[in-house]
Structures are given as structure tokens and as C-alpha cells.
Amino acid sequence: MRARLVFLSAWWLLPVLLAAVPARADITGIVVDDLTGDPVAGARVRVQTTTDAPATTGADGSFALPDPSGPVTVTAVPPYDGARAVNYITGSVSAGPGDDVEIRLTPLPINDRMPYDPGTATDCASCHFDQFVEWNASRHAGAGVNPWVLDLYSGDGTPDGGNGYVFLDDRDPGQTGFCATCHTPLVDAQDPGNVFLNEVTLPGGLDGVNCLACHQMAEVNDNTDALHHLGNTEYRFPDDPSTPLWVWGPLDDVSFSVMRASYQPGFSESKFCASCHQYNNPDTGAPGQTTYDEWLASPFSVPGPDFMACQDCHMPPADEPGPISSLGGQPIRPAEQRRSHAFIGATPDTLADAVTLDLDAWVDGAELAVEARVANVGAGHAFPTGVSIRNAVLVIEATVNGQPLAQVAGPVVPFYGSASGSNTPDDVAGRPGRGFARVLEGRINGTGPVVAPVLFIDAEAVQSDTRILAGEDDVSSYRFSLDGVLVPEAEVTARLFYRRAWRDLAVTKNWTETPSGDPVQTEVRSAARTVDLSGVIGDAVAIPTLGGLAMLLLISLLLAAAWASSPAGRR
């Protein structure tokens, strides 16, 4: 009887207990096309600024999100796909626990506006000031008026830019060289491959690689050896009165009413950067830049804890949470959603972090043996990478009393270590050392003799490639003669220099600094060793340093020996 009473009491208490447990209040709803009302399948739905995996709408456009425990903004958008008939910008609604909502998505216009006067970076600065300041100090800014590029293209970038090689000097009519394809992409994308770089006048084009040059790239395909939008990239300029506001980006929850933002996950992938940093000569297939392929072959491309995309190094996340817009009242995002737009490249600090230099030296018989190891430990691509005029040289020097020892074996710095007719300390060709570069060869304008080095537009083949791939090293050995050396020690030094241009090209064009004010040459690493030469060295005896009393005693002994061997001494 007592057990029955307990059971009945528990039974009557059950509704009370259930009422005390708060019921889940998930947000549910449907995502539809704003024009047709049709459901949108495959849309990513999330609470804005969260980082958890989003919900995905089913075939009927429905979704459910876990109880948010308060009012939130819910966003929805499918990833952009150029093969899909209709794509959308991100939509949003305000919602609270238990709400059932409808999110209406605006379709992108099917047609593009041509011709199109693209917006400038200054236009974007009013809402994204922090990003503008970072970009404005980067090498992407002003790429359309880069003095070095114009010196090589039309000869009018600097006062001495017409010296030496100028692309337009020896070209058949109509050859553009494709420089505008990446240096003024918003203009060239409207007439792919047919724009002369020195004839661009639109302000948005002269910006170079500005905000819209990336954020109106809707898609990058797998044809990575194609030159940007000549087969690798789809630009979209939606035909609408506010074309510059139609943008793409890596966040699937940007719903600010002024922007018309589409979600493109490719913005977070290294392949996105390949659109300009991976290409071949369209006619000969010779490589122009292969930075993306170098990354694919690197340890950094392997999924796992050490994986790093290009953006992780060159667009690192912010140090703390904050908005991505400089306007007030914008949602606070986690640090990983706020990326630097400084596009950090080859600075003294990043070069030193990427490359190490080890030096060893020892006596081996009558020779001084030296070994140098240069290791690419931190770059996700080759050292050096990028355009072919970039190179590096390792210079080895072995001296006694400040005088160089004669090299008897080992490599020497290649021809590109010096400038023709120049004889300064920076001219190091033929000296003990190594060169790290990809040297392209070909005929200028496809005629005449094969020469090297050439730019990718004239390249027909690779003459040599000694660059150090990611995660690999270069070990070189040298021998120096010690014959006749009479001092107790030798000094060995190794210095590694990164050069942004061939030495001969820089001297010919009188380039004393880069367009951004950096030095043409940067000393990346150096190392030094002192080698003990005491004892027998070849055919010579090293004489130790003597004190004053010992020196007098030695002189006395030598004089006594000389007197004893003389006729007077023998009497």
C-alpha cells in the first residue's frame, strides 16, 4: 500500500516537474526567393557572428536553429556557384526563441554592366576605414601605376625607366603583354587581355588591386595556370544602378543593408590567390609565377594541425574581437573573422623568419673546408617566389688577416649576381657562393637569339631553377687553399641577400629602392666562424705569437746559429 501511495504521489507530481524544466525554443523557418517565393535549398543559415557550423535548408527551404536564449539576427545565403542559374545575396531577419520566420533572398542580376566604371578604394574607406589604411600601405595599392612595372612595360615609370629592356619597344602591333590583367584587373576584366597598361585612365583601375579587384571576383576555377580572368577567374559586375555595392566575401552572414554581399568560400582558400600568383605564358606555356603550385607541394597544404593557407600568413587574423565596418552599431565579430588587409610580403622580418643559414668550417689537410646550409623553414612556397626577377645570392668569404683565400673547389655566384660594367661590393658574380632563382630564357618578341634572363612574356623555357622549395634546404661545400698561410686562424663568413630585381636590371634602370621605398637588396641572414689554423698547415708552419722576452731569445738563438755556421765561428 505504501509503495502504491508513493507511485501515485510521483505521478501527480510529474506535470509539476515537467513545468519546472524550461522547454527548448528553437528558431524555425523557411528561406525563399524574394521575387518568386520559391524555396531556396542549400542555403547556410546561422545566428550572425557565430562560428559554429550553420544549418542548411532542405529542398523545401526549411531550417531549424537551436534556442538562442535571446533576440538575435538570423542570416541565410547559399554559396555562390557560377554554374547555378540563380545566385543570391545574404538575407536576414530579427528573431527570438521559439520564433518561426521567413528569410527572403534577393537574386543577383543575370547580366553584367559593360562598360563599367569601378569604384575606388577611397569610396570603400567611408565604411571600411581600417581596411583601407592597411591596404593603402600595401603593394596591392597603386599596382596600376607601379613605377618598376611601367619601366619594364613602357619605359616611363622613373626618369631612367627607358634604359634597357622596354616591352613596348619591340612588339608587334596589338600586343598588350597582359600586364593590365593583374595590375589593373577591374579594367582589363571588361576586355580581357586587350588593355594596354599605360593607357588605363579609370581611377578604379589606377588603384591597381583595390577592394573591388578582389571583392568582385565571384569565382576562381581549377584552371590555375591560366592568367587571371583569361580563363581562371570570373568577375561579376551586376547590372544595377549600384554595381560597386555587389560584392563577394568569405563570411556567410554579412547582411548590412547597404552592401549586397554574396558568400564565396573560395576567399579563404589558397586557390583564390592563384588567380594572380600562378600563371604561364599563354603562348609558350613557360611559367610566369608558380606560387600556388609551390604551396600545394609544401607541408603547409597538408590537412591537419600545421595546415596554413596563403591567407593565414599574408592576411592574419586580428588580435581581438571587433567590427568589420568603421560605421557605428555594427556587430562585434570574433578575431578570426577580422583579417588584415596589409598583404604582408617579403619584409626583413618575414624573410628572416622564413629562412635559416648555418655555417661550418674546418681544416682538412692543406685546405679549409666550408659548408653552408640555407633552409626554407617558414615560407609556404619557394624561396624566392613570385615574378622571375626576384632572386637571392649566398656569398661565402674565407680570409686570413683580411686577405681572401683562394677558392679551389665549390660553386660560385651565377652571372646574375653582378651588373654588366659595374664593380661595387654588391657585384658578387664569380665569388664563392650560390644563387637562388628561376632563370627564364627565350627570344624577345619571338625573334632573334635565345637570351636569359627574360620576363615571362618572352619566356620559352626555364634555363635553370635553383630556388629552395618549402620545407627543403640547400647545402653547398667549398674548399680554400691554405698553402703558404703563416697565421694562426682564418675567418669565414656567409651572407644571404634577397634581391627584388636582377642586379643588372636594377643598375640599368637606376633602381635604388622599390616603389614602396624598400631597399632593392635585403640581407636576410649572416653567419661567421673563426677556424684555428695552429699546427702544420700544408707546406707552411704556423708561427705562434711571441712575447717580447721570447722574441729576444729567438733572435739571439738565430744569431748564434748564424755565427756558428760562419767561417769565424768555425775557427
- More confident: 537 or 82: 82
What value does the mean pLDDT take over residues 202-226? 97
pTM for this predicted structure:
0.89
Residues in Cβ contact with 114 at an 8 Å cutoff, skipping those fewer than 6 apart: 190, 237
Torsion angle of alpha carbons 186, 190, 194, 198, nearest 10°?
Answer: -40
Q: Which residues of 83-119 are buried (b: 16+ CB within 10 A; e: fewer)?
A: eeeebbbbbbbebebebebebbbebbbeebbeebbbb
Cβ burial of 283 (10 Å; 0-12, 13-18, 19+) is: exposed
Helix H segments across 278-431?
291-296, 310-314, 348-354
Residue 103's alpha-carbon distances to 39, 59, 81, 89, in angstroms, are 10, 15, 20, 12
**C-alpha cell at position 164:** 634597357
Return the sign of the alpha-carbon dihedral for residues 293, 294, 297, 302: negative
**C-alpha cell at position 399:** 680570409
Nearest to 396 by CA among 343, 434, 429, 449: 434
Task: Write down the mean pLDDT value for the chain.
Answer: 91
pLDDT at 15 over 80: no
Residue 446's alpha-carbon distances to 174, 176, 443, in angstroms, are 15, 15, 5
Residues in Cβ contact with 358 at an 8 Å cutoff, skipping those fewer than 6 apart: 372, 373, 375, 527
- Residue ranges of domains in the chain, CATH in brackets: 20-105 (2.60.40.1120), 121-141+209-337 (no CATH), 348-537 (2.60.40.10), 545-570 (no CATH)
Percent of the chain with pLDDT over 90: 87
pLDDT tens, position by position, 178-213: 999 999 999 999 999 999 999 999 999 999 999 999
pLDDT tens, position by position, 359-387: 999 999 999 999 999 999 999 999 999 99
User: Given this model, what pLDDT does residue 534 score?
Assistant: 87
pLDDT at 551 over 50: no
Q: Which residues pair with 62 in a beta bridge?
A: 30
**10-14, 31-35, 383-387: segment of lowest average pLDDT:** 10-14
In what helix (H) or strand (E) does residue 570 lie, and over which residues does it extend? helix 567-570
What value does the mean pLDDT take over residues 502-508? 98
**C-alpha cell at position 183:** 595590375
What value does the mean pLDDT take over residues 227-253? 96
- Give the number of other CB atoms < 10 A from CB of residue 59: 8
pLDDT at 343 over 70: yes
pLDDT tens, position by position, 48-69: 999 999 999 999 999 999 999 8
Yes or no: say if 110 and 118 are a contact pair by the CB < 8 Å rule. no
User: Given this model, what pLDDT does residue 523 score?
Assistant: 98
pLDDT at 42 over 80: yes
pLDDT tens, position by position, 265-308: 999 999 999 999 999 999 999 999 999 999 999 999 999 999 99
Rounded to an integer, what distance in angstroms lies between the CA atom of residue 528 and that of residue 47? 58
**475-489, 504-518, 541-555, 556-570: segment of lowest average pLDDT:** 541-555
pLDDT at 550 over 60: no
- Give the number of other CB atoms < 10 A from CB of residue 242: 11
Torsion angle of alpha carbons 67, 70, 72, 76, nearest 10°?
Answer: 10
User: Given this model, what pLDDT does residue 565 score?
Assistant: 56
Confidence of residue 257 (pLDDT cuts 50, 70, 90): confident
What value does the mean pLDDT take over residues 342-371? 97
User: Given this model, what pLDDT does residue 242 score?
Assistant: 94
